[in-house]
Structure 1
Amino acid sequence: MGSQGFQTEKDDMESISRIYLSIYLSIYLSISVCSYLSIYISQSVHIYLSQSVHIYLSIYLSIYLSIYLSIYLSQSVNIYLSIYLSHLSIYLSIYLSIYLSLFISIYLSISVCSYLSIYLSIYLSIYLSISVCSYLSIYLSIYLSIYLILFISI
């Protein structure tokens, strides 16, 4: 009888230690994986949306998703890390939106008529001047105009 009671207590201790170990591992993995996963999901969703949906909607959804993931992370990770990830994800989404808008405008200038590409580059330059600093948008506008002039002259 005494050895069975000892065995039951030993089994209870093992199950409790397994529960604590699983809780510890889940918390550790949620802290370490969540930040990488949020950046990866933000990038992959942004790239997927830019290929299948209108470019304005993809930029908006990418920024919204990065802000949403930052808020979600702020509930599970400490506040300083979530603020850092929030800034990082917003900068990342702005960088990706600029890169994708340039890529799409260059792609359209090659594959579509030149009038549409000029209109799109002007539109993107105006949009970027509203959402990003004006110096960068002027630089991109000049760069796109020079590229389009060279492309049209060829």
Structure 2
Amino acid sequence: MHSLPKSIYLSIYLSIYLSIYLSIYLSIYLSIYLSIYLSIYLSIYLSIYPIYLSIYLSIYLSIYLSIYLSIYLSIYLSIYLSIYLSNYLSIYLSIYLIIYLSIYLSIYLSIYLSIYLSIYLSIYLSIYLSIYLSIYLSIYLSIYLSIYLSIYLSIYLSIYLSI
């Protein structure tokens, strides 16, 4: 009879002590670890990813826009000019505009988009995401783990020590 209250007392004491200790320890440890890890990881990852994205977008957009705009403008201008001007002038201008616009737009857009997107995305995304994710995850995980561990440990220890 006397051993039962001691085991209950011990289980309650240990569950409260361990839940408080582990929740404080894990919240501090995880918040520090995650903030350091995420800031390092995200700064490295996000400095490389925007460069890749900017190169991809610059190539894709330069090819797409040069082809699309050259075809669209050549068709539009050839129809428009053939109606209002002579056939010779419309053919000449449509060919000229196809060549000129495809070269100009591909060069201009590839240079502009690669420089702009690489600088903007690397700076903005690395700073924003590293700060946001480190703060969010450290707060979320510390709260979640402290609540989860305190409930789990109190239930587990009370059952285990009462047996």
TM-score range, shorter chain: 0.3 to 0.5
TM-score with structure 2 setting the length: 0.38
Higher RCO (C-alpha 8 Å, min separation 6):
2
Larger radius of gyration: 2
